[in-house]
Amino acid sequence: KSMFNRQTPLGVPDESGRFPVIAGVKMPKNYIPPEYIEALNNDDSITDKQAVLNSVLAINQSYPYDTYYPYSKDASMGSYKWFIKQFIDMARKHDASPVLVTAPARTFFNDDGTIMDAPGCHGGNNFSYIRAMRQIGEETGTPVLDLFSYSVELFEKIGHDNIHRYTSIKKGINKGKWPDDFLKELAKPETVSENTHFNKDGAMLITEGLVELILKSKNPQLCELQSSLLHNVV
């Protein structure tokens, strides 16, 4: 993870809009990418910068291996699609069947009630990270469950005024009884709701959507998973 951006870089797409598969580069555990250090030095809100660096180094040292794959700002040390491909290859190496799932949308709305496409909403114009996930699925012959498109339709149906009944709360929530105290806290003007994570009701909606996508898929690679779900439905 980066100190300034938690998103793995996509790299520059080609003329057809396809993002590159740039291999990662293994580095020793004491390596901290220079852009991390630059971002830290430029952050005036952090007074003890060395303490932050030491904490990052401590995390690196906790890794069980001598090297790791760091993220880079420009994807020169590994692009998003390459990192996803490592999971695909590893699964197949162990005779497992990988299935990709696009991330659910974030709950930022335009004035017209549609889900917003903006930096931070899965990567800028035209939902870049979602397109990249679909691309790597196509390129590797891996099934892709498009939870993103499903969630966009779902959230727009729920609407801006009601969506935060299904999202988590950042500030103000007490440790009281669910869901009564949650709804009371949500009604308070000082309460700040999330646009990324879900509460219990929201998680159930997303889970139901994922099951629906699996069962409706025509991809033969999902036959065993579909049978397992149907067999275990109570």
* Residues 59 and 166 grouped into a single domain: no
* Residues 84 and 133 grouped into a single domain: no
Rg (alpha carbons) of the chain, rounded to whole number: 21
Backbone angles phi, psi at 10, to 5 degrees: -85, -30
Domain of residue 10: give its range.
Answer: 1-94
* Residues 77 and 3 grouped into a single domain: yes
* Residues 24 and 37 grouped into a single domain: yes
Considering Cα of 204, then 206, then 207, then 213, what sign does the dihedral take? positive
SS (H, E, C) 98-111: CCEECCCCCCCECC
Is pTM beyond 0.75? Reply is yes
* Residues 65 and 105 grouped into a single domain: no
Secondary structure of the chain: what % helix, strand, coil (to 5)? 45, 10, 45
* Residues 28 and 102 grouped into a single domain: no
* Residues 111 and 84 grouped into a single domain: no
Give percent of the chain with pLDDT exceeding 70.
Answer: 89
* End residue of a domain, out of 94, 117, 151: 94
* Residues 231 and 118 grouped into a single domain: yes
Strand partners, 167: 198
User: How do residues 148-161 score in pLDDT, each as one tens digit?
Assistant: 999 999 999 999 99
Grouping H, G, I as helix, E, B as strand and the rest as coil, residue 197 is: strand
* End residue of a domain, out of 55, 75, 94: 94
d(C-alpha 172, C-alpha 184), whole Å = 10
User: How do residues 75-86 score in pLDDT, each as one tens digit?
Assistant: 999 999 999 999
Which pLDDT value is given to residue 2? 40
User: How do residues 160-208 score in pLDDT, each as one tens digit?
Assistant: 999 999 998 876 565 566 667 788 888 888 777 888 889 999 999 999 9
Backbone angles phi, psi at 170, to 5 degrees: -80, -45
* Residues 79 and 53 grouped into a single domain: yes
Average pLDDT, the chain: 88
Tokens of 18: 């396809």
Question: Which residues in 47-69 are b (16+ Cβ under 10 Å) and which e?
Answer: eeeeebeeebeeebeeeeeeeee
* Residues 31 and 136 grouped into a single domain: no
Tokens of 221: 């690679």
* End residue of a domain, out of 64, 94, 124: 94
* Residues 175 and 186 grouped into a single domain: yes
* Residues 167 and 58 grouped into a single domain: no
* Tally of structural domains, the chain: 2
